Amino acid sequence: MSDEHQVTFTRHLEETVLDAPSEEQRDAIDDADHDAEALRRVAARWPTLLEAWAGLAECADDPVDAYAYARVGYHRGLDQLRRAGWRGSGAVKASHVENLGFLRSLNALRAAASAIGEEDESQRCEMFLYQLDPDWRAHLPS
């Protein structure tokens, strides 16, 4: 085969970065500082704010509550990813602070699923985290 007809394939996954929260939302999350009641008020004011759902899941005392909060953040995050152009594959890196609300929700869902004995879902969530960002553990609590 001549050089002019060679085909080279490269593996390049598109990377998706979510929109950043507004300054007002960021301030509200920072002020809530893992206080469940304050985070509930933030989530009620901005139901699409992934950081609020992730924070609620991470500070929940009950694993069923954590699971519910994390699932809301996860599904809201999937909606936002799709609107940002993600089509079910590609990188969503934790190194982009804008993606952390979604990835924290997915990680909290993984942990909560494990805590309630739903190991299949916990493993699916972990695999999904690795598919989105192989380095996720360096940025998220394990």
Burial 57-69 (b: 16+ CB within 10 A, else e): bbbbeebeebbbb
Domains and CATH numbers, the chain: 21-138 (1.25.40)
How far is Cα 115 from Cα 136, in angstroms, rounded to an integer? 20
pLDDT tens-digit map of 29-68:
999 999 999 999 999 999 999 999 999 999 999 999 999 9
pTM: 0.90
What confidence tens digit (pLDDT) does each residue in 80-134 have? 999 999 999 999 999 999 999 999 999 999 999 999 999 999 999 999 999 999 9
User: Across-strand partners of 15?
Assistant: 91
Highest-confidence range of 2-6, 13-17, 72-76, by mean pLDDT? 72-76
Q: What is the pLDDT of residue 7?
A: 43
